[in-house]
Structure formats: C-alpha cells, structure tokens
A = this chain, B = another copy of it.
Amino acid sequence: MNVEQAFGTVIKKYRLELSMSQEKLAFESGLDRTYISLLERGKRRPTINTLFFISQVLGIPPHHIIIDIEKLIQKK
C-alpha cells in the first residue's frame, strides 16, 4: 500500500467515525467535494497544508494521521 492510498483510508475512517459527509468535510476544510472523493480513493497526493486543513476539521492532530499512514504502509 502506498502513501496516498493509506492517507485516503485513514481520513475516510475518521470521517465515518464522526458520521460526517464528504460534502461537509470539504466545506469545513475549504476544499472541493470531488477532491475529497479523489483523496479518499488514493487518486491524489495532498500537500502537508491540505493534511493540516483536513485533520483540523476531523479533530485529529496531523501527526496522528501520519502515524496511521506509517502503520498502514508498513503492513504492506
């Protein structure tokens, strides 16, 4: 599993835990809804700024998301 796929998996997991829609996550983070869709499916590589925007809305510290990514790509 690569970094962008892991990122998508992780933010989707946290988004669903909050029962939040892609639409709301997009709006609150100032990004486009279709872009959130692309991110969750591992089709885009976010900048670290985008990471910070999204994690802020999810209420998760950015480094926590990175730790999850590290674990996912470790597992292959």
Q: Which residues of A contact B (CB under 8 A)?
A: 3-4, 7, 45-49, 51-52, 61-64, 66-67, 69-70
Measured CB to CB, the closest approach of chain B to A5, in angstroms, equals 11
**CB–CB A3/B70 < 8 A:** no
Residue in contact with A46 in the complex, picked from B47, B63, B64, B70, CB distance below 8 Å: B47
Measured CB to CB, the closest approach of chain B to A67, in angstroms, equals 5
**CB–CB A7/B66 < 8 A:** no
Residue among A46, A63, A67, A70 with most chain B CB within 10 A:
A63
Measured CB to CB, the closest approach of chain B to A44, in angstroms, equals 9
Measured CB to CB, the closest approach of chain B to A64, in angstroms, equals 8
